[in-house]
Amino acid sequence: MKKFLFLPSIALANLLLADNLIEEALNNGLVALPSDSSALSKLIESASLDAKNYPTTDQRVELGKRLYFDPRLSKSGIISCNTCHNLGLGGADGIPASTGHKWTPNPHHINAPTVYNSVFNSVQFWDGRAAHLAAQAAGPMTAEPEMASTPELVVDRLKSIPAYVDEFKKAFDSEINFELVTTAIGIFERTLVTPSRFDKFLEGDINALTKAEKVGLKTFIDKGCATCHNGINLGGSLQPFEVASKYQFADVGDFKGDANGMVKAPTLRNIELTAPYFHNGAIWSLKEAIKTMGSVQLGIDISDKEADSIGIFLKSLTGDMPKVEYPMLPASTDKTSKPELDY
């Protein structure tokens, strides 16, 4: 009889603890991606600053996907958006700093952030210089050390391909222009969201996380990590950097943040897929990254045990990846400009 009474009391205690943890997480600014598809679509549109002028449609998404994978948007004809934001590699490229046109390393030694869930970042780029995805898409395309193209080259190449002319007409009722090229890519990127078990937990499913993951979430909150890594993306907003101490690898590259030294806190969603870490990709170990953030940002020593616990929680943020089939790209024509490899 005592055993019968004891087991439900343990279950009740666990239920109360989980409910308290959910409330604590919400009170610390953590926000769930909604499991309801309609609510999620509305959230995506509200997060897209250009959605009022360019709402998401199936035709625009498909066109944007084709452009995202098309290397002809680069001067050399061999680099696409997917080169540095590989959808099979967590939306990043898995190297410290990206390599671009003529095998040029990024001159500032900047690590490519993940494109997954980037629609929920309040700013784009590490220094926050772009407000939304379409504005971000224009940057790498026209940067000499990256895709090395120009708006004129991009538009001329696409206009030389009748299938693209037709697709832009159907998607936007317009001829091709550079703004619509970047807009279409941004619209496709809006769809790259990855709901996780953590979201189900925040919505009230107390069994969505394991006991160890719940302990890690509690540690994450107690240590103050949610101060910067909050909101839907557990990051994605500009934050002060080197708050408590100097970053050990600050001299790797010359990036110093925006004019005020602010740096975009990266999303922690899918963090186990996006090593190496930090703006210059100088740290490969998630555990080391956690401990470094403790000293640099919080001015505290996070023990190995605590870092392991937080790491266990962070891996629960690995979400369900959207199914993206590699598109078949339309054929070039005699009018399509030839690749400029600049050997």
Catalytic residues: 146
Residue type, 332: S
Q: Is 147 among the annotated ligand-binding positions?
A: no
Q: Rounded CA gap, 63 and 181, in Å?
A: 9
Please indicate if the annotation marks 132 as binding a ligand.
no
Binding residue per annotation — 141? Answer: no
Is 101 among the annotated ligand-binding positions?
Answer: yes
| Cis amide linkage into residue 276, ω under 30° from 0 | yes
Residue 225 labeled ligand binder = yes
| Residue 84 is assigned to a ligand binding site | yes
Task: Confirm whether residue 262 is marked as ligand binding.
Answer: no
108 is in an annotated binding site: no
Residue list for the binding site for heme c: 81, 84-85, 101, 225, 228-229, 293
Residue list for the binding site: 81, 84-85, 101, 225, 228-229, 293
